[in-house]
Structure formats: structure tokens, C-alpha cells
Structure 1
Amino acid sequence: MNGKNEWWEWAKALLIAVAVAGVIRFFLFTPIVVEGLSMMPTLHDGNRMIVNKFSYSISQPSRFDVIVFHTTENSDYIKRVIGLPGDEIVYKNDQLYINEEPIDEPFLENYKRELNGEILTGDFTLEELTGEQKVPPGEIFVLGDNRRYSKDSRHIGTVEMDEVMGTTNIVFWPLNDMGMVNESEKN
């Protein structure tokens, strides 16, 4: 009889642990794998990251957050938030302007130096790309850090907040890339 009770206690503990892990994964945090080169040099193909699904339940995205969102192609993209609702976005001579103010992108500085003066981000305006002068309410404008090889808001348009899974800034694999993603470089 005592062995049966012990077995039942272990089974209950295991069921509770599985339920808690399921709730955490479904509602709070989930792993994701970076696919492709669109976020180089910040993120590399095959990096494994943790998506914080809870953060935008209590707050809104900030400029330069790295986010994960669903696309119409039934896949998830990892990009960087550039424009927030109400922002007017212009790129001219490899310089980002938001609401006519130049904005530094410190996460691109080393990459731009490697290009020896070549343009990383071609000229565009939000209006040329989307027909909208400003980012619409409830939407954001995103770009990959590897601007030459990124399918982002320049191609797919602005992203509705309902499609955003969450923010991601923790790489846990491979070990040599483990750590936080550019937290100190956010404005």
C-alpha cells in the first residue's frame, strides 16, 4: 500500500511539472531558431533564442527591440523595431531619420565600418514603400540588421502588433554566442 501511495505522489508531481512547463512555454517563453542571414552580424543562422511572449502583454515595443512575429507566409521572422506608431521614417545616405530627426543605430556601426564606405541601407521613405506617411496605429516598421539581404518592412509592409509573438534578446545556443543581444545599444 505504501509503495502505491509513493508512486501516486511521484505521478502527481510529474503531471504538475509538465503542466507548469506547458503553461510557461505557451504563455510566457518559447525557444526559436534563427533562420537565414537577415540579422547578421547581430544574430547568426542557427542561433537558438528565447522569445519573451509576456513582455508586450504589459508594455509596448521600444525602438530597436529585436522581435519575433508571424508573417502571412506561415513562418516567423526575427527583425528589429525601427518605427513605432505615428513615426515618419526616411533613410537617406545610409542615415535613419525618424520624424525628421537623425537617429543613430549603434548596433550597425561595426558592420558599416567593415563595408568601407559602401551603403548598407538604400534610400527610401515610408510613404514610397507603403503609401503611408506615418506608421499606422497598432503597427510597427521592422528591418533586419543585414539590410542588403533582409526581407522586412521594405518588402512586406508594416507589421500589426497582433502578429508580434514577443521580444527576444537572449541567445542560449551555440555556447560561443550565448548572451544578451545588444541591450546596451538600445535608445
Structure 2
Amino acid sequence: MSEEAKNEWWEWIKAIIIAIVLAFLLRTFFFATSIVEGASMNPTLESGERVMFNKIIYYLEEPTYGEIVIIHRPVKSYVKRIIALPNDVVEVRDHKLYINGEKQNQDYLNKSSIEETTNYGPVKVPDGHYFVMGDNRSISKDSRNGLGFIKESEIIGRSELVIYPLKEWGMTR
């Protein structure tokens, strides 16, 4: 094998090793994927969709209203929407969501999800915790019924986009 061919092989091997290391670093520290299980986030996300989430964003900024987050619990992970921040007061009255006494516009919900949202609260979110709900309010296991308040440390990333199935490719907000 000529010296030129050896150099070309060596360059290819280096490029492949660098690509593998970069993919590992991105997957480990910056981005990961999660599969949506169940219908609790319909119509925004459907069961079986794979979402890519940003793992580093909450080292740079705090979670905020309306973001779809990945919550890690010992048994399983959940995909939910942040409804209220630490020290907020949450109430659902007459199918309308109120945060700190102000009615919230929930344009990401369909009409049936709004109509099926039952009365709840008022409750104050403890310091260092968040209140989350699924977009399909009538069937969602969330802060109202089962998940409780979410510790900041349990939020492992923000959903950025649907990557599968390909026909659903796009941002998740």
C-alpha cells in the first residue's frame, strides 16, 4: 500500500473517531431522545412519537411557563407542560386555569381538553418545585393527581422537537 493510501486511511479513521466522540458528548451532555407514552400530551404530542430534548438548557436558565419538559422519576420518565413556577398559586375554576389569580390563555389546548379540565385548588407551589399538567387534561397523570409537585432536580430537559415519525418532524412548543 502506498504512503498516500495509508495517509488517506488514517485521515478517514481520525474523522470517524472524532465523529463518534462528538456524538457521544452531544448525547451525554447536550441532547437526548425520549418516547412519548400514552395520550396525556395529545394533541401536542402523540403516543409513540420520539422527541429530542435539550439536557443543558436548565443549567443556563430556569424552566418557565408553557415549556414541555422531561421529568425523571425512579420508575419512569414523563413528558409534561410546565403550568406554574415556584411560589405560584394554581387554580382551575369553571374549566379555566388561573395562575396567581390571573386567567391563563392555553392556546395549545383543544376545546375538549379545556372543557374536560375539572376544578382544582387553589394550591401554592412550594419553593424549588414546579406544577405540571398534560395537554389532555381529562386523562393526564400530572401534578394534580399522582405526580405531585415536581422538584427542579427532576426536570432533566426541555423538549425541542419531534424527530419521529418523520411526518411529524417539527418544534414541540
Q: Give the TM-score normalised by the residue count of structure 1.
A: 0.84
Q: CA deviation at 1:72?
A: 3.4
Please give the root-mean-square deviation of Cα atoms over the aligned residues, in Å: 1.7
Q: Does 2:159 correspond to 1:168?
A: yes
Q: Among 73, 85, 94, which residue is 1:71 paired with?
A: 73
Give CA-to-partner distance per residue, 1:13-57, whole Å, 9 cap, x none: 211111111000111111221111110111111111110111111
Q: Among 121, 133, 139, which residue is 2:129 paired with?
A: 139
Distance 2:95 2:149 in 1: 20
Cα distance change, pair 26–126 in 1 and its aligned pair in 2 (3 A): farther
Residue aligned with 1:27, SS: helix
Quick one: percent identity of the two aligned structures? 40
Residue aligned with 2:86, SS: coil
Distance 2:53 2:164 in 1: 13
Q: CA deviation at 1:135?
A: 1.2
Unaligned runs of 5+ in 2: none
User: Whose strand fraction is larger, Structure 1's or Structure 2's?
Assistant: 2
User: Whose helix fraction is larger, Structure 1's or Structure 2's?
Assistant: 1
Give CA-to-partner distance per residue, 1:53-99, whole Å, 9 cap, x none: 111111011101000110232x1100000010110101111111111
Q: Give the TM-score normalised by the residue count of structure 2.
A: 0.90
Unaligned runs of 5+ in 1: 128-133, 183-187
Residue aligned with 1:156, SS: coil
Q: CA deviation at 1:5?
A: 4.0
Distance 1:23 1:126 in 2: 43
* Equivalenced residues, count: 170
Q: CA deviation at 1:136?
A: 1.6
Q: CA deviation at 1:143?
A: 0.3
Residue aligned with 1:82, SS: strand
Residue aligned with 1:150, SS: coil
Residue aligned with 2:138, SS: helix
Residue aligned with 2:11, SS: helix
Distance 2:19 2:165 in 1: 27
Amino acid at match of 1:174: P
Give the match for residue 153 of structure 1: 143
